[in-house]
Amino acid sequence: MFSGVWMASTTAWAQYAGHISSFVADANTGQVLSAQDADLERYPASLTKLMTLYLAFRALDEDKISLDQLVPISIHAASMEPSKLGLRPGNYITVEQAILALVTKSANDAACALGELLGGGSEEAFGQIMTQQARALGMDHTTFKNASGLPDPEQVTTARDLATLTRHIIQDFPDNYHYFGVPYFVFHGRVINNHDPMLKIYPGADGLKTGYTASAGHNLVTSAQRGDVRLIGVVLGAHNNPQRSSIMANILDDGFAREGAPVVTHPLVLARASSSYPAHTVRHRRKTVRHLASPNASEVAEASLSTRHRKARKVRILHSSSVNAKVRLIPLNTRTVKKSAHRNKG
């Protein structure tokens, strides 16, 4: 567990969208490098899916499920609000497709279906399993009620608890951590882009997850590595995506400086704003980073690489037009890949 003094717990319904909670720790040692209201109970939004994925990875390690195992889509799962793949009742996806849908699009229908599979057919039962696992990991201020993070007044966590969970994901499942860095995957012929802006704008970042609801604000968990130093950062309750990315970049920069890691320049130029919370403005090179406004009901698509950069990169594409997903390396260019629509009707 991370060291530190716990603050008095708030009530489960006390939320402060727009008020920042943040936390940075060394992933290897657990040393806390910075914390602001890190024990204030907050709504996790789609950061909930980190626990859904933790339990999926554990089930894979214990051979209780397999990557190519079929996940049935129930009426309940298909009814989830966006962001979603648009899965239909009675259809199936594979466990690996569900994992990829969670780490890229943050699909609520896929999260619910995966939770039902792991919970013996019941998302409610899976919520209890999630909470039990949280307690076992030392997440004493976290309660889960669903697999996706869609609003529930009793589903709460803290920045410190999320850092604890993230550290366990990295340490307990090193062979599965790479999923968080997948830039996109192809589902039924449509490209599903990863929502995480830090993968594109922050040197050394290789995952993990974004989250947004109106009551939670804009949330983000990031891990980044420079040399032998790996940090975990958590930002909860930001006003918008640019502010969230800016704060995360700033607290990680400060953390790496404290750890004596190499200084690396990046597109974000950070400036502290005079306010009661550490708001930041973002001035960026528009040809390198583009923030997309108007978040949807559950998750936010955020930054994209320039067309020239995307053409030049070779990326790992998972073609998932059938339940037997195949993996191959191909050049990413406009001839081979077209941007997907916001929703996939599956």
User: Which residues participate in catalysis according to the annotation?
Assistant: 46, 49, 106
DSSP-derived 3-state class of residue 332: coil
Dihedral sign for Cα 294, 296, 299, 301, please. Answer: negative
- Number of neighbouring beta carbons within 10 Å of residue 335: 8
Nearest to 46 by CA among 125, 112, 92, 94: 112
Spatial distance between the Cα atoms of 311 and 307, rounded to a whole number of angstroms: 6
Rg (CA), the chain: 19
Spatial distance between the Cα atoms of 49 and 166, rounded to a whole number of angstroms: 11
Q: Which two tokens stand for residue 205?
A: 């970042």
DSSP-derived 3-state class of residue 237: strand
Spatial distance between the Cα atoms of 259 and 231, rounded to a whole number of angstroms: 9
The enclosing H or E element of 205 equals strand 205-213
220 CA to centre of own chain: 7
* Diameter over CA atoms, the chain: 56
Facing residues of 291 across strands? 303
In order, the DSSP letters of 4-65 are -PPPPPPPTT---TTS-EEEEEETTT--EEEEESTTS-B--GGGGHHHHHHHHHHHHHTTSS
- 331 φ, ψ (degrees, to nearest 5): -70, 135
